[in-house]
Amino acid sequence: MESKLLNRFCRYVRVDTQADEMAKTYPSSPGQLALGKILKEEMESLGAQEVVQTGHGIVYATIPATVQEKVPVIAWLAHMDTSPETSGKNVQPVVHPNYDGRDLVLPGDRAQLILVRENPELASMVGKTLITTDGTTLLGADNKAGVAVIMEAMTRLLTNPGIPHGKIRVCFTCDEEIGKGVDHLDLKFLGAVAAYTLDGGGQGEIDTETFSADLATVRINGVNIHPSIAKNRMTNAVRIAGKFLTLLPWDSLSPETTEGKQGFMHPYHMEGGVAQITLKILLRDFETQGLRQLEIRLKTIAGQLQQEYPSATIDVQVTKQYRNMADGMEKEPRAIAFAIEAMKRAGIEPKVTSVRGGTDGSRLTELGLPTPNLSTGEHNPHSPLEWTCLEEMETAARVLVELAQVWREKGK
């Protein structure tokens, strides 16, 4: 089973599904449609029912119940897209069997090193099978590890009808990495009382709390004119943007200097020139009301610079992204309790955790479908130093099989 899981994962990561934040289409990249088609055909060949790929690229399927009694319907979800921050084109997965505990040199760019001192979790990986990128792209374990895990669990249930479980819905989404993963997901069509995203790091973690998140877009309009006649006439938006960034509280509210449940403001994109600059800044806080305070700080900085440069215009627009899943998890407490039980049955000690990020589950929970996030062995996501562990993925698939049985036994 492990070799099939490995082959499945390596096949998926070779499909370029990098999300494109600037695209006007949904999904934002054609590779997501291509991977969705592959998954649809594979699920049909396995004998899954109600397999559909929608016009928006979302793929649904059903693992039919093997028992007659009424069991609550649950759903498993993963997203097909990869981060826009690092290239997902021509991914070359590198398999490291029987890992020896030393630093990993990536063959496509030997300057890229996965160092043991920076990855303490590698200490527990000796003898296991690791998969890395070659150093020139990301790997795409976020979230194709989750896709592969779901497909593996589906295979086990469909080929072993003696395992008692209720109806399970499977859903693969698009554009999660750019905050649009559930924009076109039909909750009524999904038809579940609880769901699980397979989009977590390491092993044994159940994410039940996430950041609340907004996106701030700062537009600075200057006045452009030829530099030879610019005195007292030019207002350089690039220089104003530089001042704006220096006024952000780097030492206390940046991802580089915070941890745990500390929030942050993260400028991650800047484009433009003298006439206009656009800054994009992520706002994150575990307390939803804290986002308002971050917005006020940005608008205060904008106001200060507006006074200093009256011929410029500085506008701050904040758009909602997602909210802390903890706010809605109490609607279906069995979702967490049964995940804990499934992990124990799979032989691992569960850890209920908070994650400094978000998942499709954040928005799904806000919409009324409680959706904790489960580990799938993702490490160093969004980076050429990304890696995953085959045994951790195999464990995640085993957890899903156990989870299906727990819901059948205790969910009635």
Residue type, 63: I
Residue labelled with tokens 């600059």: 277
Is 392 a residue of the active site? no
Residue whose C-alpha is closest to residue 174's, from 166, 182, 186: 182
CA–CA separation, 155 and 174 (whole Å)? 22
> Long-range CB contacts (< 8 A, 24+ apart) of 295-303?
295/214, 295/216, 297/249, 297/253, 297/265, 298/216, 298/218, 298/265, 301/244, 301/247, 301/248, 302/218, 302/244
Q: What are phi and psi of 158, to 5 degrees?
A: -70, -30
Selecting among 42, 81, 142, 285, the annotated active-site residue is 81
* Cβ 80 vs Cβ 35: under 8 Å: yes
Strand runs (DSSP E) across 65-115, as ranges? 74-79, 94-96, 104-105, 113-114
Cis peptide before 143 (omega within 30 of 0): yes
Strands 212-221 and 313-322: antiparallel
Q: How far apart are CA 408 and CA 166, in angstroms?
A: 6
Encoded tokens for 52: 């559909």
To the nearest 10 degrees (0 to 180), the angle between helices 141-158 and 2-13 is 140
176 as an active site residue: the answer is yes
Report the greatest alpha carbon distance in the chain: 83
- Residue 38: phi and psi, rounded to 5, are -60, -45
SS3 228: helix
Structure tokens at 382: 């969004």
From 176, 214, 332, 341, active-site residue: 176
Length of the chain: 412
CB 18 within 8 A of CB 83: yes
The angle at the Cα of 286, spanning 117 to 355, to the nearest 5 degrees, equals 35
Among positive and negative, which fits the CA dihedral 389, 394, 398, 404? positive
CA atoms within 13 A on the CB side of 370: 21
Catalytic residues: 81, 176
